[in-house]
Amino acid sequence: MGIMNKDVWVFIEQRNGKPADASFELLSKGRKLAENLNSSLKAVVIGSNVKSLAEETFKFGATETFVVDHPELEHFRTLPYSRILNELVENYRPRVLLFGATVIGRDLAPRVASHTKSGLTADCTDLQISTVKYLKKDYEDLLLQIRPAFGGNIIATIITPDVETQMATVREGVMRLEPLSTPVNGKITNIPYQPNEFDELIKIIEQHRQENKVNLKAAPIIVSGGYGMGTKENFKLIHDLAATIGGEVAGSRAAVDAGFVSADRQVGQTGVTVRPKLYIACGISGAIQHRAGMKESNKIIAINSDPDAPIFSVAHYGIVGDATQIIPMFINVFKQKLR
């Protein structure tokens, strides 16, 4: 492949001009990947009046930011956004391109990967750079795309050895946000946008958005319930405990699927990754996808009737028992002590 471009790119997602958290988290991770590759971190910003947003990327180490600024690009639309990225990828061929695994990222990334025939791995929980031997061939500096697979029974490391651009999506909160103390002296490169008839095949009629109704990431205490709570009625105990100790309510995917708790409160690989001061897991068995989203909490209490539940492997305190009995006990004792 001759002289290969080794740059790491991050697609910066904006909603009403505000950057998605996942994008700046990915810049923070991308900076380290670029260091490992001895290359540059670059960002792509698409929108309307996004110059100041583009400059924010320099705080996270982007040395060059491609800006496509046009009134028609104010809101995300699959067709023009993917067309712009396709052209950028084909012209510059970055070595790595990262997207937040948001609704927009998961809509956009596969379309771009298909067009540019790139490899794409969804919902990675870790990214690394390493030299890899694959089918007796040595590949220098590949992107290791690590994610749980098969219902969380295995952790797979995916590589895309024979493509020019390696693509991955990562959920919000998985990578840590690490702004630089002094922004880099980055460059803005403006890319012109030519509207196209094809872009108009889909029109936005209305848009309704309420930002951050639930902010699990910022909560110092989280009380989380799983399928083991049994019923939606029992799940109220999670709310009671959270209210008593000043915490936010969360749940596992199984609890969301069972309708015990809303999807915006889901902790785990396909939900939010959290690092609170205290995480209380009630009736959560602790599949790896769930553990991936909470194992870095400062203190973890696990309450589960099954002593072999995997949740205990990440817990600091374990209580083997029925959460529906332990929680009321906890609430009563706590209230007495505060008196």
Partner 1 sequence: MGLHSIVMVKQVPDTANISGQVMKEDGTVNRAKLPAIFNHEDRVALELALQIKDLYGGKVTVITMGPPRASDILRECLFMGADEAILISDRKFAGADTLATSYVLSEAIKKIGKYDFVLAGRQAIDGDTAQVGPQTAEKLNIPQITYVEEILEVSNSKVKVKRKIDGGFEILEAALPVLLTVLKDAAFPRPYKAKRIMAYKNAKTLMELEKITEGNSLLYIDQLKDEYQTKKLYIQTLTMDDLKLEEERCGVHGSPTKVHKIESVVLAGGNHEMIEPNKNGVSYLIDKLLEDHILG
Applying CB under 8 A, what is the total number of residues that bind partner 1? 88
Asked if 313 touches partner 1 (CB under 8 A), the answer is yes
CB of 190 to partner 1, least distance (A): 26
Would you tell me how many other CB atoms lie within 10 Å of the CB of residue 123?
19
Would you tell me how many other CB atoms lie within 10 Å of the CB of residue 72?
12
Find the binder of partner 1 among 63, 102, 125, 224 (CB under 8 A): 102
Q: Quick one: which of 180, 166, 192, 191 has its CA closest to 63?
A: 180
Q: Name the one range near partner 1 by CB under 8 A: 4-12, 58-66, 149-157, 178-186.
A: 149-157
Find the binder of partner 1 among 30, 123, 124, 248 (CB under 8 A): 123
Contacts of 35 (CB under 8 A, 6+ apart): none
Which residues between 185 and 224 bind partner 1 (CB under 8 A)?
A: 201-213, 221
* C-alpha to C-alpha distance for 114 and 291, rounded to whole angstroms: 32
* C-alpha to C-alpha distance for 319 and 281, rounded to whole angstroms: 10
Nearer to partner 1, 190 or 257 (CB): 257
Q: Quick one: which of 218, 245, 231 has its CA closest to 301?
A: 245
Q: Name the one range near partner 1 by CB under 8 A: 37-45, 66-74, 232-240, 298-306.
A: 298-306
CB of 122 to partner 1, least distance (A): 4
Which residues between 62 and 101 bind partner 1 (CB under 8 A)?
A: 78-79, 82
Find the binder of partner 1 among 194, 195, 262, 334 (CB under 8 A): 334
Which residues between 29 and 68 bind partner 1 (CB under 8 A)?
A: none
CB of 273 to partner 1, least distance (A): 15
Contact 189, 181 (CB under 8 A): no
Contact 22, 100 (CB under 8 A): yes
Asked if 10 touches partner 1 (CB under 8 A), the answer is no
What 3-state class would DSSP assign to 266? strand
